[in-house]
Amino acid sequence: MDNMNDELTEKVLKLKKERNAVILAHNYQLGEVQDIADFVGDSLELSQKAAKTDAEVIVFCGVHFMAETASILYPDKVVLLPDIHAGCPMADMITAARLKERKRELPTSTVVCYINSPAEVKAESDVCCTSANAVKVIESLDNEEVLFVPDQYLGHYISTKTDKRITFWPGYCPTHARIQPQYITGLRQEYPQARVVVHPECRPEVTALADEVLSTGGMCQYAKREDVNQMIVGTEIGIIHRLRKENPGKKFIPASEQAVCPRMKLITLESVLWSLQEMSPQVRVPEEIRLKAKAAVDTMLKVV
Ligand code: 13P
Ligand code: SF4
C-alpha cells in the first residue's frame, strides 16, 4: 500500500471508531475498500451482518439496494452509502408501478423479488431472495406459480432447478451479460485443469457451461476447497482480489476482464472517509414502504 492509502486508511479507521461505525463491503468492491472493511461478503451475508451489528452507523460499500436493505432491517441506524450514484442498473429495470400492473395480469402468482431491486418493489413482493438462496426460497413456497423479478437470467437458472412455473421479468445485469459462452470454452481449452464457476446472473448459455453456479459468497467458499487449484471466474472481477488474498498459490482467471460493474467502483477510500466525516449520503426508506419491504426480507431470512 502506498503512503497516500496508508494515511487514508488510518483516518478512516480512527473516524470509524469515533462514530461507532461498521464498514460492510461487497465482494465486488475495489481492493482498497475491501481491505478496510470489517466484513466482506455477498448480498445475503451482508444483510445478515446488517441485521446483527451493534454499531450505530453502517457504512455500506456496495450499491444502493444493499444499503436500502440494511436500512429496511434497521431503521434506527444511520446507513451511509459513500457515493449516492452507486446504483444497480438491474434494480432500475423495474418499478413498483410496472410490477403492480403485472400482478394484475398474474393474480394467482406469488411474487419473488431478487434483492437487487428498489425498496418499493420489495414492498410489492411476497418474498425476497438473493443469488445464494433463490432456489431454496422458491422451493419453500406453497404456490406452484411464481412471478420472478427483475433478473430473467437468475429466473431462468432457478427454473432449471425447480418444477415451479416461473414467469420472468425482462431485467438483466449488464455486467454479467458481457460474459460470453465462447470466453468460457476458450479458457477451458487454455486451462484444462481449472474449474469453471459462474454467477447465476450470467446468460443461460454461460451457466450451461459451468461446473458450478454460485453466489459470490459461494464462490469464495468453493475456492478454499483442497481439490480446487485453478478457477475460471464468471462474475464481476472485483472478487478476484479477495479470492487471491484468501488463497495464495491458487490461480484465478477472470472469464472476462470486461465484467466490471462501474457503479460498484464509485466507492473509494476517499469517498468512505468523506462520508464518515460528513455523515452523508444517508440512505433511508419511507416508513410505509419500509414495513412492507421488511415483511418480504424477513420471510426470506426465515427460510435461510
Ligand atoms: P451476490 O449476492 O452473489 O454477491 O450478488 C450480488 C450482485 O449484485 C451480483 O451482481
Ligand atoms: Fe447490479 Fe450487475 Fe452491478 Fe451486481 S454487478 S450490482 S447486478 S449491475
pLDDT per residue over 90-104, tens digit each?
999 999 999 999 999
pLDDT for position 50: 81
Grouping H, G, I as helix, E, B as strand and the rest as coil, residue 283 is: coil
Ligand 1 mean position, distance from CA 132 (Å): 9
Burial status of residue 134 (CB atoms within 10 A of its CB: 0-12, 13-18, 19 or more): buried
47 lines ligand 1 (CB under 6 A): no
Ligand 1 lined by 116 (C-beta under 6 Å) = yes
Mean pLDDT of the chain: 96
Residues 16-36, buried b or exposed e (16+ Cβ, 10 A)?
A: beebebbbbbbbbbbebbbbb
Mean pLDDT of 111-127: 98
Select from 27, 117, 153, 212 the residue to mutate for testing ligand 1; criterion: most ligand atoms less than 8 Å from CB: 27
Q: Residue 297 belongs to what H/E stretch?
A: helix 287-303
Q: Say what the pLDDT of residue 237 is.
A: 98
Enclosing H/E stretch for 181: helix 181-190
> What band does 1 get if pLDDT is binned at 50, 70 and 90?
low
What's at 130, amino acid-wise?
Answer: T
Q: Is pLDDT larger for residue 51 or for residue 240? A: 240
Which residues make beta-bridge pairs with 96?
Answer: none
Task: Quick: pLDDT tens for 18-68.
Answer: 999 999 999 999 999 999 999 999 998 998 888 788 899 999 999 999 999
For the Cβ of 175 lying below 6 angstroms from any atom of ligand 2, the answer is: yes
Q: Over the stretch 265-291, which tens digit does the pLDDT of each residue have?
A: 999 999 999 999 999 999 999 999 999
In the predicted structure, residue 145 carries a pLDDT above the cut 90: yes
At 131, the pLDDT band (50, 70, 90 cuts) reads: very high
Whether 209 shows a pLDDT value over 60: the answer reads: yes
The band of 304, judged by pLDDT with boundaries at 50, 70 and 90, is confident
Query: For residue 119, what pLDDT is reported?
Result: 98
Q: 3 C-alpha to center of ligand 2: Å?
A: 31
Cα separations in angstroms, 245 against 58, 60, 114: 24, 21, 29
User: Would the pLDDT of 205 be above 90?
Assistant: yes
**131 in contact with ligand 2, CB cutoff 6 A:** no
